[in-house]
Amino acid sequence: MGDFYAEMAAVAQELIDANGRNVTLIRWKQAPADSNKPWQGPDDPRTVPDATDTVKGCFVPVGGSGLGKDTIDADALKRTRDVCLIGPGASFDLGTANELIDGSVHKGITFVQTLKPADTVIMYYVGVER
């Protein structure tokens, strides 16, 4: 089965690369500025992010596609405008991403779902705010 999942991940990446556009995903800094006062959090988590990655993504509108309607929390779905399909080639777990940049537009992430049978990531579904 592992070979089948690897083939599916490769096909997903090929299709997204052929039809998608570059987007940048950011995971904001999580470490507190002062380790003696962790409740104060980081100074400005967006100044120096923990991780960034530029990957190809394909956008699908939530309303017409039916994507996520049965599996996403209703409140998160209300805040979600589009779902960005991203292949398995990201350099960090996109489930921890906070922001997506599409061109010059910064979009907040409302949810991330991972299509991951066994140990193989095939695709990420990243919901972005309106």
pLDDT per residue as tens digits for the range 61-110: 776 555 555 556 666 667 788 889 999 888 888 888 989 999 999 999 98
- Listing DSSP states for 34-57 in one string gives STT-GGG--S-TTTS-SEEEEEEE
| Mean pLDDT along residues 17-26 | 94
Could you please state the CATH topology (level 3) that the domain comprising 2-33+41-129 is classified under.
Thrombin, subunit H (2.40.10)
The radius of gyration computed from the CA coordinates of the chain, to the nearest angstrom, equals 16
Is the Cβ–Cβ distance between 26 and 98 less than 8 Å?
A: yes
In this predicted structure, the answer to whether residue 18 has a pLDDT above a threshold of 60 is yes
For the chain, the structural domain boundaries read 2-33+41-129
- Which pLDDT score is estimated for 23? 95
pTM for this one? 0.78
In this predicted structure, the answer to whether residue 31 has a pLDDT above a threshold of 70 is no
Tokens at 54, concatenated = 């530029």
- Which pLDDT score is estimated for 10? 93
pLDDT-wise least confident of 40-44, 67-71, 72-76, 124-128 = 67-71
Is the Cβ–Cβ distance between 89 and 40 less than 8 Å?
A: no
Tokens at 129, concatenated = 């705010």
Is the Cβ–Cβ distance between 95 and 73 less than 8 Å?
A: no
